[in-house]
Amino acid sequence: MVITVGRQYGSGGREIGTALANRLGIAYYDDLLLKKAAAESGLCEELFHSFDERPKSFLYSVALDPFSFSMSHAGAKGSIEQQVYLATYGTIQKLADQGPCVLIGRCADYALKDRDDVINLFITAPLESRIKRVAMRNGISEKEAKERIRKLDKDRAAYYNFYSAKEWGDAKSYDLCIDSSLLGIQNTVDLLETMLKIKGFIPQN
């Protein structure tokens, strides 16, 4: 069983993913996924955080690493951005092969599209609810929270839409989309656990 979690910023998706993994006693990968991808690829971990769910412009990639750009035109590995994505993609597949886990973002649903043991979730919430959560969590004003949400959602959508050729947040791209504000974090986890039991992914009591 592998669970992938896409999420709007401030929806509690990461918290839900963590709680679900703890409830089921399985591994959970968010930032740790980037650390593992960096270690396996030999690339600097900071590059993975720099490009994490944020596709950069062509000019930005060239400015960041002009040598890599010139080598890509000479038939080498490709841009740094491409190498980071492919390393992340490969690490997601390896982690899924190692056993049950929850994977957050990074087009994990697309990387595992050929497997039949995957449940793909998307966590959403109304904008006002997310603004309040982000403002409180980060100690910033609601105006700042709204701007941060706008930017990060835009980045995540662009990253997902480019690499998966699907639409971020569209119900057709996932097995289940949930508004976390309806039930709250723990009740949403309860709902997901019940769904996994019904689907036969985990034993029923």
pLDDT digits (tens, 9 = 90+) for 119-138: 999 999 999 999 999 999 99
73 occurs within a structural domain: no
Read off the CATH number of the domain in which 125 is found. 3.40.50.300
User: The domain containing residue 182 runs over which residues?
Assistant: 2-55+84-198
Q: What is the pLDDT of residues 132-177, one digit of tens each?
A: 999 999 999 999 999 999 999 999 999 999 889 899 999 999 999 9
What is the pTM (predicted TM-score) of this model?
Answer: 0.85
Q: What is the 3-state secondary structure (H, E, C) of the chain?
A: CEEEEEECCCCCHHHHHHHHHHHHCCEEECHHHHHHHHHHHCCCHHHHHHHCCCCCCHHHHHHHCHHHHHHHHCCCCCCHHHHHHHHHHHHHHHHHHHCCEEEECCCHHHHCCCCCCEEEEEEECCHHHHHHHHHHHHCCCHHHHHHHHHHHHHHHHHHHHHHHCCCCCCHHHCCEEEEHHHHCHHHHHHHHHHHHHHCCCCCCC
Domain count, the chain: 1
94 occurs within a structural domain: yes
